[in-house]
């Protein structure tokens, strides 16, 4: 996970679900690095997306890393099932985990990379005691639950703080950013510390998604 070039993780939440196989094939052929898969339970966030059976089908077609983002309560109950479905990276929310260190160790013990997501109001210093155990920190740059929202500017400050904390701790976590990322703000987000850009609407609403992915990587 030490890769430091900009990675792009298109979010399939914004894809055409009627053509999901074709969308995954397009991502396989594109310069996308990861497939970002958002799981919502209608409890932790005010929306419901898709779950284990859909991810299992995506995994059959995917030739790239499956980056599963759990926006759910009690994620520890489902970690093993998501591993079996094909998750390569499993990210849980700080706000949903009473015993976060235990959650991280569970995920890694199952053979997945462990990610921790932070909502916009959650300060990065709360990860100080686990930062060396984490493979990915997912910084939410919108309030989780819905695609197509606008980037929260305060996120740039959080990214700079997180990058410094990772450096000072001699940690290896990648910084992933999710929400409102466009071709106009991608460079600022990368310069603030992001290693991985999650992009949903920007990719799948474009006339040429593969070209948009390439442009994001080169921002």
Establish whether 179 is an annotated binding residue: yes
Catalytic (active site) residue 208? no
User: Which position among 33, 67, 135, 178 bears the catalytic label?
Assistant: 178
180 is in an annotated binding site: yes
Global pTM reads 0.95
Residue 86 is labelled as binding a ligand:
no
Annotated catalytic residue within 33, 38, 41, 135: 38
In a domain, 1, yes or no: no
Q: Is 145 annotated as a binding residue?
A: yes
Q: For residue 2, is it within any domain?
A: no
Domain total for the chain?
A: 1
Give the model's pLDDT for residue 149.
Answer: 79
**pLDDT < 70 regions, the chain:** 1-4, 147-148
- Asked whether residue 164 is assigned to any structural domain, the reply reads yes
Domain annotation covers residue 72: yes
What pLDDT, on a 0 to 100 scale, did the predictor assign at position 143?
92
Instruction: Assess whether 178 carries a catalytic annotation.
Output: yes
Q: Which position has the token pair 């397009």?
A: 26
- Here the CATH number for the domain that contains residue 98 is 3.20.20.70
Tokens of 165: 């904390």
Is 127 contained in some domain? yes
């Amino acid at each position: 996970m030490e890769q430091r070039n900009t990675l792009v993780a298109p979010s399939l939440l914004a894809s055409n679900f009627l053509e999901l196989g074709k969308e995954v094939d397009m991502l396989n052929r594109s310069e996308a690095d990861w497939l970002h898969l958002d799981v919502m339970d209608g409890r932790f966030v005010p929306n419901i997306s898709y779950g284990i059976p859909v991810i299992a089908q995506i995994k059959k077609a995917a030739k790239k890393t499956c980056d599963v983002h759990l926006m759910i309560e009690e994620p520890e109950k489902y970690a093993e099932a998501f591993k079996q479905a094909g998750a390569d990276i499993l990210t849980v929310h700080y706000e949903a985990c009473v015993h976060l260190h235990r959650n991280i160790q569970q995920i890694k013990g199952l053979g997945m990379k462990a990610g921790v997501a932070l909502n916009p109001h959650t300060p990065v210093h709360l990860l100080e005691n686990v930062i060396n155990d984490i493979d990915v920190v997912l910084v939410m740059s919108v309030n989780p639950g819905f695609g197509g929202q606008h980037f929260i500017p305060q996120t740039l400050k959080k990214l700079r703080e997180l990058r410094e904390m990772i450096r000072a701790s001699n940690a290896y976590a990648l910084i992933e950013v999710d929400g409102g990322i466009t071709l106009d703000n991608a460079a600022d987000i990368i310069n603030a510390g992001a290693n991985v850009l999650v992009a949903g609407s920007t990719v799948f609403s474009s006339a040429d998604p593969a070209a948009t992915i390439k442009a994001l990587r080169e921002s």
